[in-house]
Structure 1
Amino acid sequence: METDMRRRDFLLTTGAGLIGSAAWSEAGAPKLLAAANDASKRAWLVALDQNAAEVFRLPLPARGHAAAAHPHRAEAVAFARRPGRYGVVLDCPAGREKARLDLPEDRHFFGHGAFTADGRYLLTTENDFDKGEGRLGVWDTADYARIDDLPSGGIGPHEIIRLPDGGFAVANGGILTHPDFGRAKLNLPTMRPNLSYLSADGRLMEMVEPPEAQRQNSIRHIDVDAQGRVAIALQWQGSPLKQVPALALHQRGGELHYADHPDTARLKHYAGSISFSPDGDEILVTGPKGDYLLVFDGRTGAAKGGLALPQASGVAPLGAELAVTVAGGLVIRQGGGFSRVAAETGLVWDNHLVPV
């Protein structure tokens, strides 16, 4: 009965206020979170401040992928890399584990989650691997109990982000997997990715699929600008001889717009992370497998150059600029150029950089 009541509460009253016990300022005012491994292969969630200096690092059970930062209180949820099952809730000021997300036995995480705007609920991308369906877990952040799950709108939901209107966008990569087969991709000849939009209370509102020629261009990582336009980082699963775009743009009600770049081949068919600049003027797409970064015009999608960067991984806003995690530190996109910031050289960053 209690679960049913909490489920109805999520579906009907999302948006109610939530007061947290500790603000991010009490955790050292971090601006960015990233999963990383050290030289001994120990996994950490690392926080960086406005100057890209390390604020704290907290241990993770195994290799992490991305994290979700609570919008009001100093908590972060770090997720395992697919097909991992851990979701660790971290009390950042105290430097301790607060809770773990208790997944059903027939699920694993895809490495991403997003909070509702009020911080009351957390949505997580999951694989119902026995049914071959994408699902979204719903967790009450009062105690991180699981209260519901929702359809993601497709197969292989990877990243979920909250939109300016309080709704959500879900990147359904279209790739069927099962933990019995590790990270193997089981349906590449028939895969169908899509971008799905959910209302603030979890209802599926819109779904857009790629045209047939781009059906094997997996929709994996996404970002949104202040106007609600979504930028998509793509990972090609078809013939390695074919050259296809690494970026697509979408506005609700329209079709996917694919953006070409002369240096796309340098990403080796694998766009890792994506971010609009805070002013919306640029989009950066990382290529960790190709040690390269693509720069696009944020308004038109036109190519604006690129840069060779070793292990170019996560990208996210840092103040008025953009920060990129690379081997040995960070690179800042500033004033049309790049500057390097040294950091802990013993860390190998995972694919994502999460703004706080």
Structure 2
Amino acid sequence: MAGAACVSPWLRAGERHPRWLSTGRDRDGRYWLAGVGRGDDLAFKSPLPGRAHGFAVAPDRPQALVFARRPGNWAGVFSPLDGRISRWLEPPRDHLFVGHGCWLEDRCWVALGSESSDARLGIWSPVNGHWTDRIALPGIGAHEVVAHPGGEGLAVAVGGLDNSVRASGEAFRSALILLDGLGRVRTTLTSPRPGFSVRHLDADEDHVYVGLQYYGPDRTDLPLVYRVAWRDPAWQPLPAEPWQWLQMNSYIASVVCGPWGVSVSSPKGHHVMHWRFEAPVAMEPMRDVAALAGTNDRLWAGNGLGQWRRSNTSGSTARSGIVPLAWDNHGAVAWV
């Protein structure tokens, strides 16, 4: 399970400290962007116009984007220092945000949907604040996009699902698409089995780590997490017992990798799974856990009860706490 870090050099540099980012809902039904700081309390809380989903944290500047949950019509550009939202973005005309984006070089590559659910990528420039390009991809239901840490390309999860939030059955086509650094399709890998939607990703120098969701009639005891080599792509399931896959209840939310291994969450299965080098997979119970974020030596998790845990990647829990927000969907980390 060895691999290079998924965290950019700038994010590891200097005397900065990690700020754990996520979004949540308060008891009054309002949605917020929030950051947990060095003192383990909320460092900031900024209002959002609706439910959010994921982040794109710039690797070379204190800037990040938070995206509306699909089908979304807004994204916020903010500073991880204080949570101040400097501008709101609309998707390109006739397109929708689907919750994810990433940075490659000096541009933000954003997964997009359309009225027909056709998969798209949009490229946004922070220099002029404009959308500079749009790329059509094969399939429908683009979801998460991640960049190779060395800038060699991107990986896109194409879930095969339309703009509706829910799906059922197995009659859809899902794939992992690998692109070169210019956004040209290099490889398309169809989902390993019918009924499995390719949803969430992380990447290191060698592999893309892929979390699946199963939409068949029953819970599955088949693998839900795979790795795919950038240079010789093929599906390789991460090792786990059938009962452990059953525990995840057909649903992988966040995927986080680092030099320590891989972790994934399941709010429906109420567990985090950890792969640490050659050690057996470990199951960590945490009710309604979805949000994960990691550094080279720490892992942060947040759940729908407002609880969070920050663990050393050796497995020991270093800190935990609770905030008056139901953490929702994904997390991220920025160094401030």
The total of aligned residue pairs comes to 317
Structure with more strand by fraction? 2
Q: Separation in 1 of the partners of 2:292 and 2:166?
A: 27
Give, as a single letter, the amino acid of the residue that structure 2 aligns with 1:139: W
Match in the other structure for 2:96: 108
Structure 1 SS opposite 2:308: strand
Amino acid at match of 1:237: Y
Alignment of 1:198-213 (within 5 A): 198-211=179-192
Alignment-derived partner of residue 304 in structure 1: 281
Task: Return the alpha-carbon distance in structure 2 between the equivalents of residues 241 and 37 of structure 1.
Answer: 29
CA contact (8 A) 2:78 2:86 kept: yes
Q: Which residue of 2 aligns with 1:69?
A: 57
Gap regions ≥5 residues in structure 2:
1-12
Instruction: Report 1:62-101 matches (<5 A).
Output: 62-93=50-81, 95-101=83-89
Percent identity between the two aligned chains: 26
Q: Which residue in 1 is equivalent to 2:8?
A: none
Give the structure 2 partner of residue 244 of structure 1.
Answer: 222
Paired residue secondary structure (2:211): strand
Deviations 1:252-290 (Å, cap 9, x if unpaired)? 3231012342311122111111111x32x3211111112
Q: CA deviation at 1:244?
A: 2.0
Task: State the one-letter code of the partner of 2:222.
Answer: V
Contact kept, 8 Å, 1:294 with 1:305, in 2: the verdict is yes
1:157 partner amino acid: A
Deviation of 1:101 (Å)? 1.8
Amino acid at match of 1:333: S
- Kept in 2: contact 1:328–1:342 (CA 8 A): no
In the alignment, the residues of structure 2 paired with residue 46 and residue 207 of structure 1 have an alpha-carbon distance, to the nearest angstrom, of 36
Aligned-partner Cα distance in 2 for 1:94–1:346:
18
Bigger radius of gyration among the two? 1
Please report the TM-score for the alignment, with normalisation by the length of structure 1: 0.81
Closer, same or farther: CA 160–50 of 1 in aligned 2, 3 Å: farther
- CA contact 2:310–2:320 (8 Å) conserved in 1: no
- SS of residue in 2 equivalent to 1:264: helix
* Matched AA of 1:161: V
CA distance in 1, matches of 2:158, 2:38: 32
Worse-superposed segment, 315-324 or 133-142: 315-324
Distance in 2 separating the partners of 1:176 and 1:303? 37
Q: CA deviation at 1:64?
A: 0.8
**Gap regions ≥5 residues in structure 1:** 1-23
For CA contacts below 8 A with separation 6 or more, give which structure has more relative contact order: 2
Considering only aligned residues, what root-mean-square deviation do their CA atoms show, in Å? 2.5
Aligned pairs for 1:169-188 within 5 A: 169-177=155-163, 182-185=164-167, 188=169
State whether structure 2 residue 174 is matched by structure 1 residue 193: yes
Q: Write the distance in 1 (CA, Å) between the matches of 2:247 and 2:271.
A: 7
Give the whole-Å Cα distance in 2 for the aligned partners of 1:310 and 1:101: 33
For 1:344 and 1:143, the matched residues in 2 are separated by: 39
Q: Is the 8 A contact 2:19 2:80 kept in 1?
A: no
Work out whether residues 102 and 145 of structure 2, in 8 Å CA contact, stay in contact via their aligned partners in 1: yes
Deviation (angstroms), 1:82: 1.0
Q: CA separation of 1:307/1:97 partners in 2, compared to 1, >3 Å: closer, same or farther?
A: closer
After TM superposition, the structure 1 stretch with the greater mean CA deviation from structure 2, 189-198 or 87-96, is 87-96
Name the aligned partner's letter for residue 302 of structure 2. T
Q: Which residue of 1 aligns with 2:323?
A: 345
TM-score of the superposed pair, with normalisation by structure 2:
0.85
Which one of 120, 128, 143 corresponds to residue 128 of structure 2?
A: 143
8 A Cα contact 2:19 2:333, kept in partner = yes
Residues 1:217 and 2:199 aligned together? no
